[in-house]
């Protein structure tokens, strides 16, 4: 009966994780669609003073949003499949017991999901904060992202409820993360119960001695798992922070190079205009020289004609 209660609690957690995964994927997909298909996590915006509209200037690769959505969809599909499988087993076989290997595999899957959900949560949190910081800096009259939802955006963008959807997606990811932590704790507890055949009897009959040995082993295993999870979370957090720092550094370098290229393009346009003016001046000088040369040729022809006439007159004399 104990294992059945644990399985029922686990199925409830799977159903909740399924809902959280769907909420995350749907919220992020709707936001990306309303913003012209751009992934605005870690993006920047600009404010057009003439039209009084907000437009996106820099966006992240679309694969970043696809990654977060894919993780949520995979978690949701897995939870839905597990729920259907155990409900089918309960209805057809009349029991929901599983082997120790299956429990261990499910615990490993739980660890994998926790890892990717942690990364997804960090991406949504830091990416949304970066976008909000850009909006607050670009628009003077706006002091928070909630106010930007009511502002006028460019034609290709619909900023209505974008912050609310991103916030919902982030909240769903963190709720999903903590639900999987609880599911992992239940799986660890089941493994501890499976190690002692008398655990279920002691638990069901109310005798405290039957659970003492398994609970001690469960406590030790839980401490090891917690310590290992803490180390993994710290390493993941440090790696994510380093990746974000690298991304910000690359973004800064790209902006600097873009400014340099814009300055170089402006200088080239100025030099091109100067060269064009010089070419026009040279063409005018050449035309003037050509006219003077034609005048000299005409003068020379007239002088030759006068000389020939003078020679004829001198011969006649």
**Confidence grade of residue 233 (pLDDT, cut at 50, 70, 90):** low
Domain housing 60: 2-195
State residue 198's pLDDT score. 43
Query: H or E stretch including 95?
Result: none
Q: What are phi and psi of 42, to 5 degrees?
A: 65, 15
Model confidence pLDDT, tens digit, residues 173-218: 999 999 999 988 888 887 777 665 444 443 444 434 444 444 455 5
Q: What are phi and psi of 152, to 5 degrees?
A: -90, 125
Model confidence pLDDT, tens digit, residues 123-164: 999 988 888 888 888 887 888 888 888 777 877 777 788 888
- 120's CB contacts (< 8 A; 6+ apart) are 24, 67, 68, 71, 72, 173
- Cα dihedral 125, 129, 132, 138 sign: negative
- Does 96 fall in a domain? yes
For residue 74, pLDDT over 80 is answered with yes
Only one residue has tokens 């999870």, namely 229
**Confidence grade of residue 9 (pLDDT, cut at 50, 70, 90):** confident
State residue 236's pLDDT score. 63
- Does 164 fall in a domain? yes
- Does 181 fall in a domain? yes
Q: How many domains does the chain have?
A: 1
Token pair in block for residue 216: 């001690």
- Does 45 fall in a domain? yes
Q: Residues 39, 64: contact at Cβ < 8 Å?
A: yes
Model confidence pLDDT, tens digit, residues 256-310: 887 888 788 888 888 888 888 888 888 888 988 888 888 888 888 888 888 888 8
Burial of 23 per CB tally in 10 Å (0-12, 13-18, 19+): buried
- Stretch 73-93: mean pLDDT: 83
- Does 136 fall in a domain? yes
Q: What are phi and psi of 54, to 5 degrees?
A: -100, 135
Q: Residues 23, 210: contact at Cβ < 8 Å?
A: no
Residues recorded for the chain: 317
- Does 152 fall in a domain? yes
- Does 261 fall in a domain? no
CA distances from 161 to 32, 150, 156, 168, 284 (A): 12, 8, 16, 10, 63
State residue 115's pLDDT score. 93
- Stretch 237-261: mean pLDDT: 77
State residue 77's pLDDT score. 93
Query: pTM score, two decimals?
Result: 0.60
Lowest mean pLDDT among 55-64, 168-177, 220-229: 220-229
**Confidence grade of residue 226 (pLDDT, cut at 50, 70, 90):** low
- Does 302 fall in a domain? no
State residue 200's pLDDT score. 41
């Amino acid at each position: 009966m104990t294992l059945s209660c644990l399985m029922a609690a686990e199925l409830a957690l799977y159903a909740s994780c399924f809902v959280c995964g769907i909420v995350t994927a749907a919220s992020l997909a709707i936001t990306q669609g309303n913003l012209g298909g751009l992934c605005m996590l870690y993006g920047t915006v600009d404010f057009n003073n003439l039209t009084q509209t907000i437009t996106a200037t820099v966006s992240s690769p679309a694969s970043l949003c696809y990654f977060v959505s894919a993780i949520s969809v995979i978690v949701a599909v897995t939870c839905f499949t597990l729920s259907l499988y155990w409900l089918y087993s309960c209805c057809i076989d009349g029991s929901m017991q599983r082997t120790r290997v299956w429990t261990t595999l499910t615990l490993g899957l739980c660890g994998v999901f926790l890892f990717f959900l942690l990364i997804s949560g960090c991406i949504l949190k830091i990416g949304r904060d970066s976008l909000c910081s850009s909006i607050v800096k670009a628009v003077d009259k706006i002091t928070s992202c909630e106010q930007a939802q009511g502002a006028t955006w460019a034609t290709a963008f619909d900023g209505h409820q974008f912050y609310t959807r991103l916030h919902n997606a982030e909240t769903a990811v963190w709720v999903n993360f903590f639900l999987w932590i609880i599911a992992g704790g239940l799986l660890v507890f089941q493994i501890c119960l499976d190690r002692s055949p008398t655990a279920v009897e002691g638990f069901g009959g109310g005798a405290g001695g039957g659970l003492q040995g398994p609970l001690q082993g469960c406590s030790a295993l839980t401490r090891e798992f917690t310590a290992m999870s803490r180390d993994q979370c710290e390493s993941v957090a440090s790696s994510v922070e380093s990746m974000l720092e690298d991304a910000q550094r690359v973004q800064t370098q790209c902006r600097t190079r873009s400014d340099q290229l814009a300055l170089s393009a402006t200088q080239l346009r100025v030099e091109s205009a100067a060269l064009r003016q010089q070419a026009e001046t040279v063409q005018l000088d050449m035309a003037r020289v050509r006219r003077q040369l034609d005048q000299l040729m005409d003068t020379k022809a007239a002088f030759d004609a006068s000389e020939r006439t003078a020679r004829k007159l001198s011969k006649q004399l």
